[in-house]
């Protein structure tokens, strides 16, 4: 994040960065934080906040449902917390629809929290889906909170795609051998979402 001379009032637009485990989302968000101006606000991941804070976690359906409802509400409030920031873009580290990929049933996550898939998809202006690499190592950033195998990671990535691809602003970023190629593509897409009043404040070394 760096200086920006823009004094406009922005219509805040939410952009989701999502992807299966190992897709490099955390590192790309870090680049985004460095490359864009203060009017591009980057939110933390709701699941990361909860698990990092010790929210009880195991594979029992009761726990899985509690976790996903908690993530949903934390995500909603994270987004709400930026409403006074005059942000041009709020980058969400996953959005509320991602939780549907982890919902064990019965019923849907949407029923459980009193909303619909359409309403939740409609909260976001654009969706950048970073695909999980299919090789065993992927982008191994040694995330200590990660518990999935490669096969599970790919399956989750597929499910995330099936949830978000209905969104009219859905864009996929393929897994590239060179991680920086993938990162640059994601940054370019985000730059395209930034309004012209703030676009000149993008740090060029990150996007050329
Ligand atoms: Zn601006
Ligand atoms: Zn700005």
Q: Tokens for 25?
A: 């989302």
Helix (H, G, I), strand (E, B) or coil at 42: strand
Ligand nearest to the CA of 197: 1
| Distance separating alpha carbons of residues 181 and 186, to the nearest angstrom | 9
Q: Is residue 1 domain-resident?
A: no
Q: What residues make up the domain containing 146?
A: 13-206
> What Rg value do the Cα atoms of the chain yield, rounded?
17
Helix (H, G, I), strand (E, B) or coil at 46: helix
| Distance separating alpha carbons of residues 136 and 38, to the nearest angstrom | 37
Q: What is the enclosing helix (H) or strand (E) of 15?
A: strand 13-19
On whether the CB atoms of residues 82 and 43 are closer than 8 A, the answer is yes
Q: Is residue 6 domain-resident?
A: no
On whether the CB atoms of residues 1 and 200 are closer than 8 A, the answer is no
pLDDT per residue as tens digits for the range 25-74: 999 999 999 999 999 999 999 999 999 999 999 999 999 999 999 999 99
Q: Is residue 83 domain-resident?
A: yes
On whether the CB atoms of residues 141 and 24 are closer than 8 A, the answer is yes
Residue 18 Cα to ligand 1 middle (Å): 25
pLDDT per residue as tens digits for the range 124-175: 999 999 999 887 555 555 566 666 788 888 999 999 999 999 999 999 999 8
The alpha carbon of 91 is separated from its chain's Cα centroid by a whole number of angstroms, namely: 7
Ligand nearest to the CA of 196: 1
pLDDT per residue as tens digits for the range 166-177: 999 999 999 888
**For the domain that residue 169 is a member of, what is the CATH number?**
3.40.50.300
* Percent residues over pLDDT 90 in the chain: 77
Give the chain's mean pLDDT.
Answer: 91
The pLDDT assigned to 153 comes to 87
Q: Which residues surround ligand 1, an ion (CB under 5 A)?
A: 6, 8, 197-198
Q: Tokens for 93?
A: 């580290």
Residue 208 binned pLDDT confidence (cut-offs 50, 70, 90): very low
The pLDDT assigned to 110 comes to 97
The pLDDT assigned to 152 comes to 86
Q: Is residue 175 domain-resident?
A: yes
Ligand nearest to the CA of 38: 2
Q: Is residue 60 domain-resident?
A: yes
Does residue 118 carry a pLDDT above 60?
yes
Q: What's the structural domain count of the chain?
A: 1
Residue 38 Cα to ligand 2 middle (Å): 6
On whether the CB atoms of residues 35 and 4 are closer than 8 A, the answer is no
- Sheet with 40-42: strands ordered across: 40-42, 89-93, 13-19, 126-130, 170-173
Q: Is residue 190 domain-resident?
A: yes
**β-bridge partners, 87:** none
The pLDDT assigned to 178 comes to 87
The pLDDT assigned to 148 comes to 77
Residue 88 Cα to ligand 2 middle (Å): 7
Q: Is residue 153 domain-resident?
A: yes
* pTM to 2 decimal places: 0.92
pLDDT per residue as tens digits for the range 174-203: 988 888 999 999 999 999 999 999 987 777
Q: Is residue 191 domain-resident?
A: yes
């Amino acid at each position: 994040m760096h200086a920006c001379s823009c004094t406009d009032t922005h219509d805040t637009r939410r952009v989701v960065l999502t992807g299966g485990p190992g897709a490099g989302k955390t590192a790309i968000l870090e680049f985004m934080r460095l490359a864009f101006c203060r009017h591009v606000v980057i939110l933390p991941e709701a699941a990361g906040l909860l698990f990092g804070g010790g929210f009880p976690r195991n594979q029992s359906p009761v726990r899985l449902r509690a976790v996903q409802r908690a993530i949903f509400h934390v995500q909603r409030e994270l987004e709400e917390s930026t409403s006074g920031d005059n942000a041009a873009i709020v980058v969400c580290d996953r959005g509320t629809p991602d939780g549907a990929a982890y919902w064990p049933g019965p019923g849907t996550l949407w029923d459980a929290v009193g909303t619909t898939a359409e309403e939740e998809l409609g909260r976001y202006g654009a969706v950048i889906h970073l695909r999980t690499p299919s090789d065993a190592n992927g982008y191994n950033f040694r995330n200590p909170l990660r518990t999935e195998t490669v096969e599970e990671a790919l399956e989750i990535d597929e499910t995330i795609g099936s949830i978000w691809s209905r969104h009219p602003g859905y864009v996929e970023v393929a897994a590239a051998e060179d991680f920086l190629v993938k990162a640059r593509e994601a940054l370019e897409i985000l730059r395209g979402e930034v309004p012209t009043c703030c676009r000149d404040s993008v740090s060029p070394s990150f996007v050329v």
